[in-house]
Amino acid sequence: MIKRVFLLGLLFCSFSLWSQKTDENKGEAYYRNSPCKSSFEKIRLDGENNQSNVELFLRKQLTNLKDARVTLKLNYKHESPGGFHYSFTQLFNGVTIYQSEIKVNTDNGNTVHSTFDNSENTSLWSLSTIDKKDNSVIAIHPVTHQPVLTERRIDNHSIETLIANQEVVFTRDLKMYFCPPESLVTGKVFNPDPLTTLGQYYGGTLVDNNDLNSPWLDAQRQTVNFMANYNGSQFTLESPFVRIVDFEPPSAAPVTSANGQFFFDRSQTGFEDVNAFYHLTTIHNHIHLLGFGCADGLIDIDTHGYFGQDNSVYDPGYTPPRISYGTGGVDDAEDGGVCVHEYGHAVSEAASPNSNSGFERNSLDEAFGDYLAGSYARSLNTFNENQVFKWDGPVWSGSNLGARILNSTKVYPQDLVAGAKYQNSSIWSAVLWCLNGSIGRDATDSLILQTHYAYAQDILMDAAAELLIDADTLLTGGKYFCPIYNCLFLHGLNPINLFVMCDVGINDVQKFPIQFFNHNQSFSIVNTGLLAMEIELLNVNGQVVSSFHEGQAVFNYGNANLSSGIYLVNVRLHNAGRNSNISQYINKTFKWSKTE
């Protein structure tokens, strides 16, 4: 009998690691207890930008690669508009070390912009690999914390299990829960959902009612044109990128059309087929037109799947990968937001394969799906725009507004909740939503897509913040630095850049009880909240020129000996009424003019 050291229940309904539904009680399987090591130091490669020189760079930089028994295996090299992305796995005596990804992101030249390191220190290992098999991997035992040679099994295309000496060392579900000729066809869809176009909230006559049609909902169908396959006798809902199929109960054969018209009401199964196909085709085309190829792979879609449950999943364990939309409550494929959210997991996986492991990394993926759904919906209609899943969500969330918000005020890291990846995702989705409102949809979507190419296993949100800034450097030369910094700042994600040429927080009296007044050769800070303040004045090199600890109502600063130039005022507020470890940072850049 196999002994289970680290095993979560294998009931199919209990995993849904990356679904759109908010169920924080599902057992999450995390192999590592600590995030990967990250570096954002810009370093030039010795020579051209290729695999050989990147490996040479890593061996110089990473101590864990000094062991002569250690080699590297290239998982992939991806190209994005902003540069190249190398993913390696660490091998010990030719055997893969489980979840030991090393990720290197470069620009289009030969400069490394970021490195993420999940490698193991093997210098003291005495593990024998003489009994290795083709599916052997080395894992760290969760009890002894020693390396063990395991057999890696994949069951039902998605359940991954590591077994050593008849003992289950680790298991997890790999699912991510929430080319023929083409011709122009016509169909009817909710765009993006009936409540948004009607400008109403869920309730009263505007309810699912077990898929029954109604004049109110029927009137919200819109006629749209899209490309579909024609095989010489009939039109089918498939393209090189999206294909409607029936691979999971309940059984519902995909609809076809003899004349290119796909007109169904919501009481007919064909409506969900057309709705999902249209929205996924539209979001694919948007991503492709932005210049990114991470949506160009084929995805199989079952619009009446997931065994009739009220949830949806993305499953990368098949070729091609699959998305299954459940039919419990409101059919998930009726809500364009749900359709796009699940597709977001596919886009993320394609941009940075096998990187969605780790507590905060999972939250980043859920946040991206929510943001992508919100960005898509906002481009169509701004009603109730801060909510996602406005049609499907009220059935399972308990709110008639929707399921999750995009304008959260949560702050990192103090608002993180252990084990609550969906709650925590609202921090990152709020950053992206803020940025969308500041610089627009196309610019924000491009930046976060570029960021996803650089993701690695077990990264944290603050690392994602640095990658977002780096994406702007790669794509625009830093055009949007200040809007990005401002949105990150509002949610506690302060980049490592000490000197920031942006006004952040000052004179936002609704959030911070201080005001800044620049008098050209002096400045004043009005402390309306009478909070304890730590004030630093920094020059352009990030050097502290002056520092003060103040608490009075008005602080005045003037220094006749201060040279002319640009300076940063950094204010740290301490609120005695809150946890003493919690503080707020407010930045203000200003030009100092010295009278000669």
pLDDT in the model for residue 522: 75
pLDDT in the model for residue 581: 30
pTM (2 d.p.): 0.75
SS3 for 490? helix
Selected residue with higher pLDDT from 578 and 436: 436
pLDDT in the model for residue 520: 63
> What does the pLDDT look like over 414-436, one tens digit per residue?
899 988 999 999 999 999 999 99
> What does the pLDDT look like over 133-146, one tens digit per residue?
999 999 999 889 99
pLDDT in the model for residue 554: 83
Fold of the CATH domain 514-592: Immunoglobulin-like (2.60.40)
> What does the pLDDT look like over 533-550, one tens digit per residue?
888 887 755 678 888 887
| CA-to-CA dists, residue 99 to 2, 65, 354, 482, angstroms | 23, 15, 9, 35
* Element spanning 152, H or E: strand 147-155
Q: Give the residue range(s) of CATH 2.60.40.3080 domains in the chain.
A: 514-592
> What does the pLDDT look like over 385-404, one tens digit per residue?
999 999 998 887 777 666 78
Strand partners, 3: 167
Contact between 81 and 67 under an 8 Å Cβ cutoff? The reply is no
Contact between 369 and 341 under an 8 Å Cβ cutoff? The reply is yes
Contact between 462 and 412 under an 8 Å Cβ cutoff? The reply is yes
Burial class (CB in 10 A: 0-12, 13-18, 19+), 534: middle
Selected residue with higher pLDDT from 36 and 180: 36
pLDDT in the model for residue 531: 76
459-480: average pLDDT: 92
Burial class (CB in 10 A: 0-12, 13-18, 19+), 192: buried
Interior CA angle at 434 toward 429 and 435, to 5°? Answer: 100
Contact between 509 and 515 under an 8 Å Cβ cutoff? The reply is yes
193-210: average pLDDT: 94
298-325: average pLDDT: 94
The span from the CA of 267 to the CA of 326, in Å, is 15
> What does the pLDDT look like over 513-539, one tens digit per residue?
667 776 666 778 777 777 788 888 877
12-32: average pLDDT: 49
pLDDT in the model for residue 569: 76
pLDDT in the model for residue 457: 94
SS3 for 303? strand
pLDDT in the model for residue 4: 43
SS3 for 463-479 is: HHHHHHHHHHHHHHCCC
The span from the CA of 80 to the CA of 195, in Å, is 37
Tokens 């690691």 sit at which residue? Answer: 17
The span from the CA of 286 to the CA of 373, in Å, is 13
| CA-to-CA dists, residue 569 to 167, 466, 504, angstroms | 58, 22, 10
91-109: average pLDDT: 96
| Chain centre to alpha carbon of residue 300 | 22
pLDDT in the model for residue 182: 65
Banded model confidence at residue 590, pLDDT cuts 50, 70, 90: low
SS3 for 314? strand
Amino acid at 324: S
Tokens 């977001």 sit at which residue? Answer: 344
Main-chain phi, psi angles of 441, to 5 degrees: -65, -55
Kindly state the percentage of the chain with pLDDT values over 90: 62
The span from the CA of 162 to the CA of 392, in Å, is 37
Name the least confident of 223-232, 400-409, 463-472: 400-409
Main-chain phi, psi angles of 79, to 5 degrees: -110, 135
Amino acid at 367: A
Instruction: Pick the closest to residue 569 from 544, 595, 593, 532 (CA basis).
Output: 544
* Element spanning 558, H or E: strand 554-558
Contact between 326 and 309 under an 8 Å Cβ cutoff? The reply is yes
